[in-house]
Amino acid sequence: MFFRQLNTPLGVVVNIKLLPNNSNLGAMHTYIFAICCFLSLSFNTMETCSVTVQFTNLRNTKGLVQAALLNGSQGFPDDPKQRFAIGKTAISGKTATIVFTNVPVGKYVVVVMHDENSNTKLEKNFLGIPKEGFGFSNNPRIIVGAPSYETCEFEVKTNICHIVEMKYIL
């Protein structure tokens, strides 16, 4: 297991867990994720928090999972210049995990894509329908277009864990 740490311009540190590609490790990853969530929720004494996000239901292990943490509706869902923090991670089995650290108390949204070809863009067909996987915090139902920012918003008061289920249309 390898860890990589990225620092964003706003001082948020993103810890990325890189694991070997082995689909038999799925249950172990879920167990470790639960322990990390419990420990992070138990020991928060600072003004900043960590937001741990586990992405489930990934269709394959190609490419990367790229997630963005937004703290305002400007740029939602697809303007990368308006992101509070961005994290990328490799895929292990059908899951991936990104931890955003040093996140101030407030309201946020997680937007994620399964970048299967690693070009950092969500591939769409000629009608604008995504060809790659995507997801949002709170797992809103997707009917036509992206959900509203308010539907995906959650509050960070302490360390928090979220599970985002990936969606694939094509």
Q: What is the average pLDDT across 82-103?
A: 93
Averaged pLDDT, 15-40 = 56
Q: Which residue has the higher pLDDT, 33 or 100?
A: 100
Torsion of CA 79, 121, 141, 16, to 10 degrees: -90
Q: Are 103 and 156 in contact (CB under 8 A)?
A: yes
Q: Tell whether the model's pLDDT for residue 2 goes beyond 80.
A: no
Domains of the chain: 2-165 (2.60.40.10)
Q: What is the pLDDT of residues 108-138, one digit of tens each?
A: 999 999 999 999 999 999 999 999 999 999 9
